[in-house]
Structure formats: C-alpha cells, structure tokens
Amino acid sequence: MQLTIPSNIWRKIMQYAQIASPKEVTGIGLVELDPETDDHYIVKDVFLPQQSANEVSSEFSETGLHDIITDVITNDISNATKLRFRWHSHGKNNVFFSAIDNADIEEWKSDWVFNLIVNAKGEYRVRFDQMRPIRIRNHPVELHINYLDGSDSMAAVQELQRKVTFTELPNPIPPKGGSILD
C-alpha cells in the first residue's frame, strides 16, 4: 500500500510542523484512491482547524473541526467520503504512535483512515487503519513524496531535461582472448 503526497502539500505540513515546534499541531485532509491502482492513494488537500496545542497534545476548538468539514463539503459534496487523512506533528519529539494517538484512531468515524506523524526534523511515520467491515490495525504504508505533482516550479525538471543526456549501459565487453563461444 502506498500513500503519495504532492510536494506542495508536504511542504505545507512541514511548515505547520516547524512553525509550531516545539508545540504540536494537528489537521485533517482529503485522500483519494489512484484510479489506476487498487492500493495507491493520493492526498489531495490538507486543512488546519482552529485548535489549542502544547508540547504533548493538540485539541480542536469546539467548532474547529466542524467548520472545516462544513466548508469542505459545501465546496464539493463528494469530499465527504475523502476526509480520511489525519496528520499531526510531534514538535521536536520522535515520530511514534502514542497511547493518545492510538485512542484517537479508534475514535475515527469513517471506514478507514491514513494517519501521518511528522516532526520538525522532517521525520515521519504513516499507517493505515480500516475500521469496517474488518478492523485492520496499523497496516504499513510506503510514503511517496511526489515532486512532479503540485504547484511547485518545474524549473529543475526543465534544467535537467536540457543538461542531462541519459545513456544506455555499454554492452558487456567480451573477456580477453575472445568470447566463450570461440
């Protein structure tokens, strides 16, 4: 199973994490199945609800989460089934799923959810959980940051195409004295 995060969204999450550090920060996001595959998912957007946060926890304000969900669904009703990504930062601390994090995941309302933890150093951990029909806990996920999808400048791509010629490896050179077919 793979989760792809476009680089512009990844940068946004890391900016939230580094600005908040050493305090935590938590948000949600939209995730979609890549239609070409059956187990590759793509994060489409992330949101930052009103919240209060300290070094060990963050808590959404009473209306924080509700306001975001209302906005997102008003924009596009199909987003309702895509709100299945939760991310949070551990400030300067290690990235691991704490007892509180595990309890939060158990409270999750939709059928499945991806959870990402980052810290200000850029370390991360990601997991997938399915709630229904069968509970699957902590399924491993490969995280892929896509630097070719997003609103970033494509200058590096264009420069590479201009300057680098990719060549084939040379054919194996026969051993001295001729090939084994002689």
Q: Measured from the CB of residue 40, what is the shortest distance to Zn ion in angstroms?
A: 25
**Least distance (Å) from Zn ion to the CB of residue 28?**
14
Contact (CB, 8 A) for 172 and 33: no
Q: Which is nearer to Zn ion, 31 or 118 (CB)?
A: 118
Of 26, 51, 86, 101, which lies in the binding site for Zn ion, with binding defined by CB under 5 A?
A: 101
| Amino acid found at 8 | N
Please report which helix (H) or strand (E) contains residue 106, including its range: helix 99-106
CA 89/CA 19 separation, integer angstroms: 11
Q: Say whether residue 87 binds Zn ion (CB under 5 A).
A: no
Neighbours of 38 (CB within 10 A): 8
116 binds Zn ion (CB under 5 A): no
Q: Tell me: cis bond preceding 133? Omega within 30 of 0 counts.
A: yes
* Residues contacting 126, CB < 8 A, separation 6+: 3, 114, 115, 116, 117, 141, 143
Q: Considering only the stretches 91-99, 108-116, 142-150, 152-160, report the one whose residues sit in contact with Zn ion under the rule CB under 5 A.
A: 91-99
Q: Nearer Cβ to Zn ion, position 42 or 129? A: 129
Please choose, out of 41-49, 73-81, 98-106, 135-143, the segment that lies near Zn ion by the rule CB under 5 A. 98-106
Q: What is the spatial distance between Cα 30 and Cα 108, in angstroms, rounded to a whole number?
A: 15
Residue nearest to Zn ion (CB): 101
Q: Minimum CB separation from Zn ion for residue 98, in Å?
A: 5
129 binds Zn ion (CB under 5 A): no
Give least dist CB 124 to Zn ion, A: 12
Q: Which residues of the chain form contacts with Zn ion (CB under 5 A)?
A: 98, 101
